[in-house]
Amino acid sequence: MLQPWTNVFNLTGAAGGQLIGLLFVVVTFGAGLTAAQSHTANRAFVTPTLVNFSGVLFQAIVMLAPWPSARPAGIVLAIGGALGLTYRIATIIWKGKADFVALRGFDWAAFNGIPVFANASLILGGIGLVVANPYAPYAIALASTLLLAAGIYGAWSLTLWLLKNREKR
């Protein structure tokens, strides 16, 4: 069931890993921020973006591992999706408390809604693997794609925010 999806998860896993590296480069732009700015930005935006990319890498590793069947991969992915969903709810609360930004419209969807939907898709895909549903890999690939898109948007927004706040010093 998983073999035909090798190329998809090779691609998404490689992209997730490379984007993690680029995120660390972006974070170095913020080295001159005050401690209060840095802590709030890290908790509200840097870490969730890193979690997006790490989630994609994790999903690829799980999907490409030589499991004896798809069932163990499904269990691991469903648990990962549940943990990711729990984390997303916590970040929505943290971002709501951040006093330097108010997310509206598309920004709210990109930072909060899409990752929540992606983790829900991952849970369903993991359960689908456990029950041998042939559409389960589609749900998992959707989760990876959405997390990549949300992570790229988050990294771009973070870069712009860091450059803007760096100029103010």
The verdict on pTM exceeding 0.85 is yes
CB contact set of 6 (below 8 Å; sequence gap of 6+) = 64
DSSP conformation letters of 127-156:
HHHHTT-TTHHHHHHHHHHHHHHHHHHHHH
Task: Take residue 158 and report the two structure tokens written for it.
Answer: 């973070």
What digits encode the pLDDT tens for the residues 122-159?
A: 999 999 999 999 999 999 999 999 999 999 999 998 88
Nearest to 120 by CA among 153, 89, 155: 89
Residue 78 in contact with residue 123, Cβ under 8 Å?
A: yes
**31 pLDDT higher than 70:** no
**Mean pLDDT (whole number) for 70-86:** 97
pLDDT of 37: 59
- Per-residue confidence band for 41, with pLDDT thresholds at 50, 70 and 90: low
Choice among 33-47, 108-122, 124-138 with the minimum mean pLDDT: 33-47
State the average pLDDT for the chain.
Answer: 88
What digits encode the pLDDT tens for the residues 91-106?
A: 888 777 765 566 778 8
Domain locations in the chain as residue ranges: 3-167
**Distance (Å) of CA 16 to CA 23, 50, 72, 147:** 10, 9, 22, 9
Higher pLDDT, 48 or 39: 48
